Amino acid sequence: MKITRILRYPVKSLSVEELGETTLTPGQGLPYDRHWALAKPDGDADDAGTWCKKLNFVVLVKQFALATLDFRLGRGAAFTLKGAGVDVAGDLDTADGRAALADAVTRHLDLPPEAAPRVVEAGDFGYFDSSRGAVALLNMDSHRDLERVMGRGLDPVRFRMNLLFDGADAWSELHWVGKEVRVGEAVLYITKPTGRCPATHVDPKTGQADADILDALRGCQGHTQMGVYADVKQGGAVRVGDEVEVL
């Protein structure tokens, strides 16, 4: 088994960034993965706060139009955000930069002033969907089997995972829970399967809900799980092409 892609999402629910390599640290996710988020004004999320559920954020599962925004992280915390009628740049280390990002998203989603989000920054543990597993793994053989069942191609980015790998039997990763897996120089502990939500129905390029992933998973597997979450037990470098081994 080998790593084929390494993906991160610097701002929760905004666009993907592809990496050739990364370094994993125990107790953390990929560097800058879900490091920032768009917190609802009436939610519990705060800077460097404790983990909280995604209902506290402006997220793709409720706002499909987030998928049509192209966020790019530059040097440090510098960023650009582009989309239909959106073209802003700034620095997320500054109050002005955070305000620019939040304002652009508010206008893009046509949110009323009282629903305008604020940008928050995580500490060591990002704004992940699960408190048990900061790194998400997707078996591309399972992905291809789902494509077969649905009779169409699917962009794996719609599943918003971190480490994509080839060479395992389809769906075998769901039996790795409670086991350790070596990925490059790192060792991961598989905590639980990744339960899917309607955000997976959304095409990550168009922002349109065009595939009933949950129905397809129920039909072929009898559940709505795809991929697994993992905690980093031993840190180290992970590169595209590295071996994946169940210990």
Angle between helices 140-150 and 213-221 in degrees, nearest 10: 100
Residue found by looking up tokens 């969907």 in the block: 129
pTM for the model? 0.95
Predicted local confidence at residue 66, as pLDDT? 96
**CB atoms near residue 19 (< 10 Å):** 17
Q: Which H helix or E strand runs over 107? A: helix 95-109
**CB–CB of 15/65 below 8 Å?**
no
Q: How far apart are CA 12 and CA 128, in angstroms?
A: 8
Instruction: State pLDDT tens for residues 166-196.
Output: 999 999 999 999 999 999 999 999 999 999 9
| pLDDT over 70 percentage in the chain | 100
Q: How far apart are CA 145 and CA 154, in angstroms?
A: 11
Comparing CA positions, the residue from 27, 5, 210 lying closest to residue 128 is 27
Instruction: State pLDDT tens for residues 111-143.
Output: 999 999 999 999 888 999 888 889 999 999 999
Residues forming a β-bridge with 118: 39
Q: How far apart are CA 36 and CA 92, in angstroms?
A: 9
Kindly list the structural domains of the chain, giving each domain's residue range(s) and its CATH number in brackets, ordered by start: 2-28+129-246 (2.40.33.20), 36-121 (no CATH)
Tell me the two tokens of residue 9.
């999402």
